[in-house]
Amino acid sequence: MATNVSFHPGSVTNPERTQLLKQTGATIWLTGLSASGKSTIACALEQHLLHLHKFAYRLDGDNVRFGLNKDLGFDEQSRNENIRRIGEVSKLFADSSCITITAFISPYRADRDLARSLHEQASLPFIEVFVDAPLQVVEARDPKGLYKKARAGEIKEFTGISAPYEAPTSPEIHIRTDEVSVADSVRIITEFLVTKGYLT
């Protein structure tokens, strides 16, 4: 950890920002296997919230590896650091009153718990959404051909095949994408936000 640094508080408090922007920041953390539908739901949800004139932004697992996390691989240590960084970034976005939508496999429960704790320590809402589909369903979808490559041994440490995925035990929202449409998924998440008072 860096030394000789100190936190510089701003002159705008979180409650004041929330009141002025008329919006509560929150992080909606979509987790699930590759091809479970995380990115598709995240894109649709972001569009829906923006059409409601809400400040929303999507952080996608692949996209951040082109910039912020381009120095990371896919071994367990790199995956841990990938999620740690996104946990910190999403916390900053939520603190700005943004409804932050993250779409990451985030396979390890401990890493997701760390992201949650970062938000809880800052009194920011964290909503874990388990985007769930059976392995045979996501393998059949396989839009990027990654499962086929993993089965052939061309991709090492691939989540769900040669690396573990630790499913959430008590997510705020559980969506079975083999049973629920994208539109209904967006509706379920939006209704949760309204019920909790994060959307008005």
Decide: 134 and 178 in contact? Cβ < 8 Å.
Answer: yes
**What backbone torsions phi and psi does residue 143 show, to the nearest 5 degrees?**
-65, -25
Told to judge if 170 belongs to the known catalytic residues of this protein, a careful annotator would answer no
Between CA 59 and CA 101 the distance in angstroms is 6
Smallest CA-to-CA distance from 107 within 135, 141, 83 is with 83
CB neighbour list of residue 89: distance below 8 Å, 6 or more residues apart? 59, 68
State the catalytic residue, choosing from 97, 106, 117, 123: 106
Q: What CA–CA distances, in Å, run from 110 to 61, 84, 93, 144, 164?
A: 18, 10, 22, 27, 13
Q: What CA–CA distances, in Å, run from 120 to 24, 108, 135, 155?
A: 14, 19, 32, 36
Active-site residues: which are they?
106
